[in-house]
Structure 1
């Protein structure tokens, strides 16, 4: 099991967890020594989740480690549970490996798509702090619809290699970032429009307001739905001119 943990750490550091083979054995089959696949999977449910078990302390420490109680995967959801980055059903060796257990909001944990892609893994909150927290790759554009709407999309930095760009696209898809960010943006956009038109503000005033909001938000992260929204609105000439 120690060797398995080292194997996970080495691949995660290289962004290559998608190369880990899935366990296709039945739950009753032995997979390591005299331990079955089912027993490995059940370690988490039987030893880490119950509050009367000593390993529960590890679970609680991991869940409380998320800064501000925010889900590190999406950046805005409240941490609700622990998510297996590689699902324990397909990768039972990692069922209780702390490196594979990530604080998660309910949406990221229960609504994610299949993650063990053959081409690239999504970003790992423990191993990919740089791409997740230090470089912007999620952007938005303002759509001249009725009512006004926003579309989120991925645009990888030019210096990223093909693997990093692919991982960003997978992360965006796997966690349904576009639709979830869009829901948050719709409410904020409605409030902003009301603020800007009552009474009507000048374009430069609107841009200054958005720029201040943007700078404040960037102090905390770089890929939030607010950053992409404020940036898109600030740079949209017809929006700042209230031509809608």
Structure 2
């Protein structure tokens, strides 16, 4: 879970852009008249997102009475997400917000779509609100589905506002075997509020990150097996442990809670792995 820079495009600009050039004059006028309702819904959403209280928002409070849900959703589908549409440049700019093109929700897979923090099917007024749109991989987008938060524990992780990479919460353990493996778990800091602990744990579980990270770690173990054997031949388990510790420090400097940081930290701290397990 990575924090990313919020988009510069405003909700008002995005809405006006996506509803411009509508050929049907009556429909175009209806969208224009709905601007104040959409702006109000956006203000309510952004205030709640900043305070991590999206779970308090009721659908009726963000409803737009002068337009139906299908019309609001259509401006995202056909006038923002569609290639060469009038608002496609906004879509593309939002996609580029993800560092190195990686999904901020899992920190691993490539960005391929935009995910609505509050689903457009339930909150159509926010269909083209930039701060409700997160660059994501298709797997994370699918896993989130149309779920809507019902309590503080259900509050979705919002990469534009939430930053959980200052405190260590992702841990890993070496699983002895041939070949060895790495298992991942969430251990939130005890000083975190209970709701935040639950949110991070739910995010990790809902997106099925444990097996994803375990798979990546298994490949990494295969990749480094030969070099660790060479280190062991030159300096024994101490040389292996020192190398793994340095690798953990390097990855920690980039992301405290990446699967790579957790993996190398666990490997460096496991005596069995450093002495013989790497070669199993």
TM over 0.5: yes
Identify which of 42, 58, 72 aligns with 1:21.
58
Going from structure 1 to structure 2, the CA distance change for 1:199 and 1:67 (only over 3 Å counts) comes to closer
Q: TM-score, normalised by structure 1?
A: 0.88
> In 2, Cα distance between the equivalents of 1:79 and 1:4?
27
1:211 Cα shift?
1.5
Going from structure 1 to structure 2, the CA distance change for 1:115 and 1:32 (only over 3 Å counts) comes to closer
Q: TM-score, normalised by structure 2?
A: 0.78
Going from structure 1 to structure 2, the CA distance change for 1:49 and 1:203 (only over 3 Å counts) comes to same
Residue 213 of structure 1 corresponds to 247
Is 1:110 equivalent to 2:147 in the alignment?
no
**Contact 2:267/2:273 (CA < 8 Å) preserved in 1?**
yes
Task: List alignment gaps of at least 5 residues for structure 1.
Answer: 24-30
Residue 28 of structure 1 corresponds to none
Residue 177 of structure 1 corresponds to 209
**CA shift digits 1:96-116 (9 cap, x unpaired):** 111110011222223446642
Identify which of 230, 250, 265 aligns with 1:231.
265
1:157 Cα shift?
1.4
Is 1:10 equivalent to 2:42 in the alignment?
no
SS in 1 for 2:224: helix
Count of aligned positions: 235
> In 2, Cα distance between the equivalents of 1:87 and 1:145?
43
Residue 181 of structure 2 corresponds to 149
Larger Rg: 2
1:199 Cα shift?
6.6
Is 1:48 equivalent to 2:85 in the alignment?
no
Going from structure 1 to structure 2, the CA distance change for 1:187 and 1:114 (only over 3 Å counts) comes to farther
> In 2, Cα distance between the equivalents of 1:121 and 1:61?
26
> In 2, Cα distance between the equivalents of 1:76 and 1:111?
15
* Backbone CA RMSD of aligned residues: 1.9
**Contact 1:114/1:174 (CA < 8 Å) preserved in 2?**
no
Moved over 4 A (4+): none
